[in-house]
Amino acid sequence: MGEPLAGGGTRPGGDGRTIVETSGHAIRTPVIAASAVLPGLGHVIEGRRAQGLLLMAAWIATLAIALKSWQRIVAIPGTGSADDWLAILTLAAMLVGTCMAGTAGLVRGQRRAAGSSRFASEWRRFRRSRTAMAGLGVIVVLYALMLLTPLIAPFGPAERVGDLVRVRLLPPSAAHWLGTDRLGRDVLSRILYGARISLTIGFIATAISISVGTTLGAVAGYAGGRIDALLMRFTDLVLAFPRLILLIMIVALFGQSVVVIVLVLGLTQWPSTTRIVRGDVLSLREREFIQAARALGFRPARVLFCHIIPNVLGPVIVAATLGVGNTIVLEAGLSFLGLGPPPPTPTWGAMVEGGRDIMISSWWVATFPGLAIVIVVLAFNLAGDGLRDALDPRLR
């Protein structure tokens, strides 16, 4: 076979086949070609079955969506909206990304991360938790479905599937997998469109709350003195006020638009993050590297944002992951009370409320949206627990 090339390249193999050299590892060209045709096949051939089967399933599912939605895709250039174009771009990115992922791992060779990268070591610890990886997988699938909804939803979110007398409250069947509601609308389609509202609100509102909480907590912990006392007393005041009453009051005053819901949820959930960050900053500000930065004459803002905040991002990331699930539950609660986005905008909480009084006769109307909420929140909580264990230095 000969010796591997130190700098990478190709050489003839002993059996007449070309061998590609990458970082001291020989990968046969037919294996790479097989993965180019069917992503994941090369991984299965090499013995990495779990990774290979996952890539194969992702490729086949994405290709099936593209083929099934081909008529819609062809019609979008003439009449498509921004959501339709986003769905097409997402589908194309999934096809290209899956194909690249199927060959990139083989080209890099069989190397394992050496541990010199902190991210690599934390990612390995995260992968050891099957529940955390399952939660992460569910999150990725849900966000992919959210972006692809215009292509995969059987009907529109407010579209009646037929004559009201004949199609109202139909049980789950081959024509309507999750049944129809009292207005003859497809429950599966409304759940998919409702996922766009719930997941978007959860992500953006959590990003706002994490940004506000991290900034206030870092400033309070680093500045100390009166600034710390003032910010923390304000934080205690926000924590002491009943959140649900505050949410209802603000929504009642400013309306029920999606923007208002996002701002309300984002600007009322930062106190817990503020306390976490402040506690970490209080211990960090006395560390040697912070004292060295001060001695070099760095401005307080530079020390804060370049040296302190990057070192408290671990707990912040965990808090953000857990906060998304909490935000989705709060949004569903507001929608259940009639204070969410106004009809006909589909939200999971409003769908649960719409089937509340017919649970006995038409259980599917409220059950499936409720299960969607449970699955999403559970997935974020599992991923958050895995991140907490991976980022905790005491468990290393």
DSSP string, 1-49: --PPPTT-EEEE-TTS-EEEEETTEEEEHHHHHHHHHSTTHHHHHTT-H
319 and 384 share a domain?
Answer: yes
User: pTM for this one?
Assistant: 0.80
Domain containing 85 equals 18-110
In a domain, 246, yes or no: yes
In a domain, 128, yes or no: no
- Which structure tokens are listed for 250? 């603000």
In a domain, 55, yes or no: yes
* C-alpha neighbours within 13 Å on the C-beta side of residue 90: 19
In a domain, 187, yes or no: yes
176 and 79 share a domain?
Answer: no
39 and 177 share a domain?
Answer: no
Distance from chain centroid for Cα 207:
12
Give 379's contacts (C-beta < 8 A, 6+ positions apart). Answer: 134, 135, 136, 138, 139, 142, 325
Number of domains the chain is built from: 2
Of 93, 110, 127, the residue at which a domain comes to its end is 110
- The CATH number that applies at residue 335 is 1.10.3720.10
- Which structure tokens are listed for 95? 């096809």
In a domain, 279, yes or no: yes
In a domain, 5, yes or no: no
In a domain, 250, yes or no: yes
Strand 9-12's sheet: what is its strand order?
9-12, 18-22, 25-28
56 and 200 share a domain?
Answer: no
175 and 82 share a domain?
Answer: no
In a domain, 321, yes or no: yes
216 and 97 share a domain?
Answer: no
Question: Would you write out the chain's pLDDT as a tens digit for each of its 396 residues?
Answer: 444 444 444 445 444 444 444 444 444 566 666 666 777 777 777 777 777 788 888 888 888 888 888 888 888 777 767 888 888 888 888 888 887 876 766 655 444 444 445 677 778 888 888 888 899 999 999 999 988 998 888 888 888 888 888 888 889 988 889 999 888 899 999 999 999 888 999 999 999 999 999 999 999 988 888 998 999 999 988 888 887 788 888 888 887 788 888 888 888 889 989 998 998 888 888 788 888 888 888 888 888 888 888 888 888 888 888 889 889 998 888 888 888 888 778 889 889 988 888 888 889 999 999 999 999 999 998 998 888 888 765 555
68 and 173 share a domain?
Answer: no
